[in-house]
Amino acid sequence: MKDLFRKSAVYILALFLSLVPAAFPAYCEELPAKENEALSLSLDDTVRMALSNNRDIRIQEEEISFAKANIKAAQSRFFPQAQIGYDFTHNDAVATTSALPYNRKDTRIFTGYKSNNQLTLSGSQLVYDGGASIASFKEARVQLKVQEETLAARRLEIEFEAKRLFYGLLLAYETLRINQYLVDQAQAHYENVRNKFEQGTSSRFDVLQSKVQVSKLIPPLVQAQNSIEVISNDLKKLLYIDMGCGIKLKESLQYSPIDTNLKEFLGEAYKNSPEMHLKRLGVDLEKWAIDFAKSGWYPNINAAGNYIYTSDKLVDMINPRHDNWNLGISATFSIFDGMSTLAKVKEARTRYSQAVLSKENITEQIAVDIRRGCLDLKEAHAVILSQKASLAEAKDALKISYIGYDNGVMINLDVIDAQVSLSQVEKNLAGGIYDYLIAEAYLDKVMGREYSENKERSLSRHASL
């Protein structure tokens, strides 16, 4: 018995362990096996994981399912409704009639039995309700499009945030590299100056000046290291990965210029922007809301029919002598409703006017955003070109300063200035590339360009520094 229990326990444990992986989200498979291992990410990986793991996107996808169900509910009003019901009543006394042998019906089905069983099959059909059903159906269809565009807008927001953090982390790593190189150069120069001082070819002032310069460069280096940690944590939060997991980027800070065509960008934004679509759909929703409110001024017409079996015995219910049927049509028309319909129509028309104004506002805002993105692109590109042109000169100036100082034709401050100038040019260049990439990502968001649809376009344009 114990052996049987032990074997059963082992089998259950093995079954449980085989099912455990299925209980975790798919992205967990991409995490490193050990906490100290780094998760390698490209921009494509980052955007994909951000979209697949984001809970707000999942919630919005459920809203789409809800909107589809609402369309089905609105459609149901156009179809006939059918019900079947059973009712049993026991009466203390009922009126009686005598049934002649040649009567087709048992006449007591019109007056009832003491023990009355009734089986009813009923149906009804809406004939006309003033256009309320049509308006509700149209609103439901528009609402589905609203939820779909809301999902598209949310996806674009997540994509932009993923790009911002990914590019920000690339910039942080580049800034750390520049600061570390500057510290190394300053430290090496300090050692050189100290050796010269010991040999009597350099002053104590130069030694102190070089040492102070090294100490001045340590805080920016630490800040760069902290910036990497902060941005990495924000990126992990966006991707829903463990904070203890390291991140290693597969790419470097790079860019490729694009053609800036304001007219084409505006046309694409007006055509594809989810925000623009949402405002247009908002106008459509309010238009159908007016029709729905107006339905209170029109008659409501319904048709109904019933087929009934009535008997005192359940087993003898389905009998031609015990059936009956009726058909009817009803119409109602509101003569006075306390001005309720008028108030609803005025409210709906006011909301329609607001929706139109809101659409005009978003049109102007998109134009402003596109122009802003184009200006940011031009500004960043100008910075990149100017700093690229100065980079080689700054490197040559640093080499000349080293040689000049060793030969006694240049002073220590010239070397320090050349080191700082080179690092500043490199930082300006890295910052310009980051600003360019962010401006490009911002324009993609405003124009409704999803990363997945423009992946090849994006990858083909990027060139290394």
Edge-to-edge strands of the sheet including 81-90? 81-90, 115-128, 300-311, 323-332
Tokens coding 110: 């019109």
Q: Is 231 exposed, middle or buried (0-12, 13-18, 19+ CB in 10 A)?
A: buried
Nearest Cα residue to 247 out of 82, 77, 49, 395: 49
Portions of the chain given CATH number 1.20.1600.10: 39-79+130-297+339-461
Burial 260-294 (b: 16+ CB within 10 A, else e): eeeeebbebbbebbbbbbbbbbbbbbbbbbbbbbb
CA distance 375 to 378: 5
The predicted model scores a pTM of 0.79
The least confident of 6-20, 119-133, 285-299, 448-462 is 6-20
Portions of the chain given CATH number 2.20.200.10: 80-128+299-332
Element spanning 128, H or E: strand 115-128
Give the model confidence (pLDDT) of 226-246 as tens digits: 999 999 999 999 999 888 888
Tokens coding 430: 């890295």
The pLDDT value given to residue 18: 42
Q: Are 190 and 211 in contact (CB under 8 A)?
A: yes
Q: Which CATH superfamily is domain 80-128+299-332 in?
A: Outer membrane efflux proteins (OEP) (2.20.200.10)
With H, G, I as helix, E, B as strand and everything else as coil, classify residue 246.
Answer: strand
Average pLDDT on 458-462 reads 46
Mean pLDDT, the chain, whole residue set: 85
Quote the percentage of the chain above a pLDDT of 70. 87
What DSSP character marks residue 389? H
Q: Are 446 and 372 in contact (CB under 8 A)?
A: no
Check pLDDT > 80 for residue 97.
Answer: no
With H, G, I as helix, E, B as strand and everything else as coil, classify residue 112.
Answer: coil
Q: 60: Cβ–Cβ under 8 A, 6 or more apart, which residues?
A: 147, 150, 151, 154
CA distance 339 to 297: 10
Check pLDDT > 50 for residue 26.
Answer: no
Q: What is the 3-state secondary structure (H, E, C) of 21-58?
A: HHHCCHHHHHCCCCCCCEEEECHHHHHHHHHHHCHHHH
Check pLDDT > 90 for residue 424.
Answer: yes
Q: Are 294 and 341 in contact (CB under 8 A)?
A: yes
Residue 116 main-chain phi, psi, to 5 deg: -105, 115
Check pLDDT > 50 for residue 313.
Answer: yes
Nearest Cα residue to 290 out of 356, 206, 229, 334: 356
CA distance 173 to 227: 9
Check pLDDT > 80 for residue 136.
Answer: yes
One of 2.60.40.10, 3.40.50.460, 1.20.1600.10, 3.30.930.20 is the CATH number of 39-79+130-297+339-461, namely 1.20.1600.10
Q: How confident is the model at residue 22 (pLDDT cuts 50, 70, 90)?
A: very low
CA distance 195 to 69: 81
Check pLDDT > 80 for residue 73.
Answer: yes
Q: Are 463 and 255 in contact (CB under 8 A)?
A: yes
Tokens coding 296: 């209170």
Check pLDDT > 90 for residue 91.
Answer: no
Q: 361: Cβ–Cβ under 8 A, 6 or more apart, which residues?
A: none
Q: 86: Cβ–Cβ under 8 A, 6 or more apart, which residues?
A: 117, 118, 119, 120
Secondary structure (DSSP) of 391-445: HHHHHHHHHHHHHHHHTTSS-HHHHHHHHHHHHHHHHHHHHHHHHHHHHHHHHHH
Check pLDDT > 70 for residue 4.
Answer: no
Q: Would you state the torsion angle of the CA atoms of residues 278, 284, 287, 291, taken in this order, to the nearest 10 degrees? A: -130
User: Scanning the structure block, which residue is given the tokens 């150069």?
Assistant: 185
What DSSP character marks residue 100? P
Q: How confident is the model at residue 304 (pLDDT cuts 50, 70, 90)?
A: very high
Give the model confidence (pLDDT) of 384-411 as tens digits: 999 998 999 999 999 999 999 888 888 9
CA distance 84 to 55: 44
Burial 25-35 (b: 16+ CB within 10 A, else e): eeeeeeebeee
